[in-house]
Structure 1
Amino acid sequence: MTRIRSRKLLTAAALLASCATVFAQAWPTRPVTIVVGYPAGAGTDIIARTVAEKLAPRLGQPVVVENRVGASGVVGVSTVARAPADGHMVLVAPNTVYIAPHVLSKGTAAEQAAMVKDLVPVVQLSTGTMVMVATPSLGVKNAQELAAKARQQPGITYASPGSGSPMHIAGELFKRAAKVDMNHVPYKGSAPAMTDLIGGHVQTLFGVLGSVEPHIQSGKMVPLAVVQKERSPLAPQVPSMAELGFPNVETKTWYGVLAPKGTPAPVLDRLNREINAVLDMPDVRDRIRGMREAPVGGSADAFREVTQREFDTYGRIVKEFGIAAD
């Protein structure tokens, strides 16, 4: 009886595996939607459209980017978290999706955390470089000089695109490492923060390389350090926080693809495989590097480790510094 039962279980398992394989081979049966929780033209939108354009012919179906804007990306997350888990709707998001549950108000944070648990990592698309910059009038050339000046002149300001953003967290890490008192000035986005830095209303700023680089090249901003352990190949002339004596000041940005929890494994595997193939295309890599991002790719397991590590790390940092969103 035990042998018969085991044989039946093995037969059922083989049948289920066969059905899943057939489903994956048939997928997609209609257009695939990539949801972006930010406006058209934002970094998340640009990288999503770059991937979508090349992914469509590989899947044999249109791949449409849909902007579901609102609540700092939460609308996009909720749209995909509640979508049917059949592989026809996925999310392209920045790493803020794993910071938001820690910095939002209690009720919203709990809802966001639940939504994040309803998503599974598919593949990491890229990683970005964050840079600390200053207005030339401040008279400092690197983060070490800034720290020395901030000790003499407490209250130097640093801007970020919003409370609870990776840039805000980078600023708090720097303040602790440098043992300085600096005033955080949050903005609603990077553009107004950079405008005020150029206008002299704030003195320093944490921003992504792609946004600040044109202003560095024009001389309107001075790069003080990249916010990581090593120099970035995208900005090799800028020293790292670690080499300037601040090894624990490290915050990265990235974009990745997430799918509804319960999406069949064969579909997730194919999505990962096809997107990796897209990321290997020279013109796609060039376009991503043109955004001042480094293409990543790799397995879903590797990306899952990144998301879990960052969720835990940011949770500890946010709690330690008492950071909350505006």
Structure 2
Amino acid sequence: MTRRPLLHALAAGLVLAAPFSTAWAQPSDWPSKPVRIIVAFPPGAPGDVVARLVGEKLAAKWKQPVVVENRPGAGGNIGMDAVAKSAPDGYTLLVGPDTMYTVNPHIYRSMPVKPDTDLVPVTHLAAFTQMLVCHPGAGFSSVPELVKAAKEAAKGQALSYASGGAGVPGHLAFEMLSDAAGIRMTHIPYRGPSPATQDVLGGQVPCGFLATPVVYPHVRSGKLKALAVSSATRSPLAKEVPTVAESGYPGFDASFAETLAAPRGTPAALVQRIQADVAAALQDPALRQQLQANDLDPLGITPEEAARRHAQGHAKWGQVAAKVGLKLD
């Protein structure tokens, strides 16, 4: 081969190799600046708690600040949109419940982002439950009592219930219960579980399916009455509270998980590294104890497993949304 064609061949080879070498070299240079975690729900929500606790461990390992920023609204769609439009370089990550991927595509008539194509799952951080609580003045001590009252109220003015927002875990858990029990109650959505809890505490709304760590302190103080938790097994945080399944609805399981995701196009090697670092952080005994004290069961699964769980949840919650005719603008 003459010198000129040889130079052309070498140049072409370098051009072809460049994208691959850049993608694989990037993780070793990362992070060289602060990493931002956008939480798609308000402060105090389970995702906010786990993001801040895990973020502290990651900052120490990465030797860079990990900044948590709350972008709540539209069932997580606002936070998802912000991350999906960010550079796929590992410096902007998303934390929020798996309902953003499994429920939102079914119930929102239009979404600014397509979760399965615009975002890539990194891991599930922790599983969590919802707790069905009522104001003591409502007079309900069990799920059957609430169901009976809801059926009687249907003849007149329907009872109402609070959740942390339309399409969020508490809303979906109550709609699943309503479908199983054959009842209808008026949904009162709030901007997060904390303001919803305040109105249940004040008696403005009799009941709510809300994040367990948010409402359980009020259960312990006697200001709220716990009827059940949404998961298939009892919450380690509140072992005395029965599940909905134990309360007369076998097979009921409205379990959820806080997820970590990155913009689509983030190098696979970088996604794997972030997942590995998060999984290692979740093995720390002190961190696990902190999470479990907030009703967060540490997970740290692989990106592939997270994607598989999203697909399963998408099918499950699609059936629920269709049954109750749930649609949002």
Alpha-carbon separation, structure 1, partners of 2:162 and 2:71: 27
- 3-state DSSP class of the match of 2:236? coil
Classify 1:193/1:66 alpha carbon distance in 2 versus 1 (closer, same or farther; 3 Å). closer
Name the counterpart of 1:119: 119
RMSD: 2.7
1:55 aligns with 2:58: yes
Q: Would you say the 8 A contact 2:232–2:253 is kept in 1?
A: yes
Classify 1:71/1:133 alpha carbon distance in 2 versus 1 (closer, same or farther; 3 Å). closer
For residues 239-283 of structure 1, the C-alpha deviation after alignment (integer angstroms, 9 at most, x for no partner) is 111122213432223211101112111111111111111111122
1:30 aligns with 2:26: no
For residues 31-61 of structure 1, the C-alpha deviation after alignment (integer angstroms, 9 at most, x for no partner) is 3222223444544333222222211232233
The letter of the residue matching 2:219 is I
Alpha-carbon separation, structure 1, partners of 2:152 and 2:115: 46
For structure 1, the residue ranges without an aligned partner over 5 or more in a row are: 1-11
TM-superposed deviation, 1:23: 3.0
The letter of the residue matching 1:292 is D
Q: Would you say the 8 A contact 2:129–2:235 is kept in 1?
A: yes
Alpha-carbon separation, structure 2, partners of 1:192 and 1:89: 28
Name the counterpart of 1:199: 202
Classify 1:265/1:156 alpha carbon distance in 2 versus 1 (closer, same or farther; 3 Å). same
Name the counterpart of 1:137: 137
Alpha-carbon separation, structure 2, partners of 1:126 and 1:317: 23
Name the counterpart of 1:179: 182
Classify 1:229/1:72 alpha carbon distance in 2 versus 1 (closer, same or farther; 3 Å). closer
For residues 149-191 of structure 1, the C-alpha deviation after alignment (integer angstroms, 9 at most, x for no partner) is 4334433332222332222222222122122343333334323
TM-superposed deviation, 1:30: 2.9
Q: How many residues align?
A: 312
For residues 75-113 of structure 1, the C-alpha deviation after alignment (integer angstroms, 9 at most, x for no partner) is 321222122222222111222322223222x2x33x33x
Classify 1:140/1:33 alpha carbon distance in 2 versus 1 (closer, same or farther; 3 Å). closer
TM-superposed deviation, 1:226: 1.1
Classify 1:232/1:101 alpha carbon distance in 2 versus 1 (closer, same or farther; 3 Å). same
- 3-state DSSP class of the match of 2:239? coil
Alpha-carbon separation, structure 1, partners of 2:303 and 2:283: 16
1:84 aligns with 2:100: no
* TM-score normalised to structure 1 length: 0.85
Alpha-carbon separation, structure 2, partners of 1:72 and 1:175: 20
Alpha-carbon separation, structure 1, partners of 2:235 and 2:99: 21
Alpha-carbon separation, structure 2, partners of 1:137 and 1:184: 19
TM-superposed deviation, 1:146: 2.4
- 3-state DSSP class of the match of 2:290? helix
TM-superposed deviation, 1:237: 0.8
1:189 aligns with 2:160: no
**Which region of structure 1 is more displaced relative to structure 2, 82-91 or 193-202?**
193-202
- 3-state DSSP class of the match of 2:246? coil
Classify 1:185/1:74 alpha carbon distance in 2 versus 1 (closer, same or farther; 3 Å). closer
For residues 273-296 of structure 1, the C-alpha deviation after alignment (integer angstroms, 9 at most, x for no partner) is 111111111222122223221111
* TM-score normalised to structure 2 length: 0.84
The letter of the residue matching 2:147 is A
Classify 1:27/1:35 alpha carbon distance in 2 versus 1 (closer, same or farther; 3 Å). same
Matches within 5 A, 1:1-326: 20-98=23-101, 99-104=103-108, 106=109, 108-109=110-111, 111-112=112-113, 114-154=114-154, 155-325=158-328
Q: Would you say the 8 A contact 1:77–1:116 is kept in 2?
A: no
